[in-house]
Amino acid sequence: METVFEITEDAMQLAMIEDRIVPYAELDPVYLDRGTFFGDGVYEVVRSYDGRIFAIDEHMARFERSLREVDITGVDIADIRRRVEHAFDDASIANAKIYFHITRGSAARNHGTPADLKPNFFLTVTELGESTAKKAGGISVSTFPDWRWKRCDIKSLNLLANVLARRDAEKKGCNEAILVNDAGEITEGASSSVFMVRAAAKELVTRPLGPDILPSITRAVVLRIAEQARLRAVEQVIRPGEAAGADELFLAVTTQDIVPVVKFDQTTIGNGQPGQNTKNLIEAFRQYVK
């Protein structure tokens, strides 16, 4: 509904940062990032194990798909990969988390997009702490309504629903929020995939892919290594009641691969300790990333 303005074309504009007035023409374009105004961008998180980036091909392929799905064009994906690898090399961190995003670019704030917009790239490399304690002792999770949009298969910067769910979990003393949709199904965690083990049946269960969950790379790896832990991978909807009554429960997340869950809302999972199948999967994952 609004006219599209170019960034510095119109002199009759000003900006304000905190309580400081800034002439519009002098404004750093980062303040006009559509990533901030609209969450108009997509991101990836990759990690390294002992000096090597894990599953970079899969992450770059997913990133390229996300860009395509939101119609951000003019990105040389090979160049982005070179940047990621260059930054990782430069950081010299053996076990690193690499976050990067691309937004549609900087422009005066209007829903409509100027045709000649240049995408913005940003990346951070962070040392990953050890998650040994969490892996050994397990974590607590709590449920929260899944308020997210209908295209959660796109790894976009629209994550406020995830943030609010996580805040709720933290207030309850939990480490992660498990999102439950209107149909009463678990979709995924605020920043993780959810897995359940049926011990007697030797089944490893997780929700099938679809627009309501992220095609998690870690999820795919876990399904791939299930056999090594003598489990049969089953893609099936999980409801909170089943999760609470599960023999074993765990989360999959890039930065920490497999994290056992020992408490689901008020319910203790199994005997309150990570189960044997989960331990086997953690070991299989450790072998896999070597």
Residues ≥6 apart with Cβ < 8 Å to 8? 24, 25
Contact (CB, 8 A) for 16 and 85: no
Q: Which of residues 235-264 bind a copy of itself (CB under 8 A)?
A: 251, 253, 255-256, 259
- Minimum distance, C-beta of residue 201 to a copy of itself, in the bound complex (Å): 28
- Minimum distance, C-beta of residue 45 to a copy of itself, in the bound complex (Å): 9
Contact (CB, 8 A) for 80 and 121: yes
Q: Determine whether 155 is an active site residue.
A: yes
Candidate list 97, 135, 155, 279, residue with the active-site label: 155
Tokens of 39: 């969450």
219, HSE (Cβ side, Cα atoms, 13 Å): 20
C-beta closer to a copy of itself: residue 184 or 245: 184
Q: Which of residues 169-188 bind a copy of itself (CB under 8 A)?
A: 170, 175-176
Q: Which of residues 37-96 bind a copy of itself (CB under 8 A)?
A: 37-41, 43, 70-71, 79, 83, 86-87, 90-91, 93
In order, the DSSP letters of 241-275 are HHHHT-SEEEEEETTTEEEEEEEETTEEPTTSS--
Question: What string marks each residue from 119 to 148 as x (binds a copy of itself by CB under 8 A) or -?
Answer: -xxxxxxxx-x---------------xxxx
| Binds a copy of itself by CB under 8 A, chosen from 8, 15, 49, 60 | 15
Q: How far, in Å, CA of 182 to CA of 184, rounded?
A: 5
Is residue 25 near a copy of itself by the rule CB under 8 A?
Answer: no
Provide the 10 A C-beta neighbour count for residue 221. 21
| Binds a copy of itself by CB under 8 A, chosen from 52, 68, 111, 232 | 111
Positions annotated as catalytic residues are 155
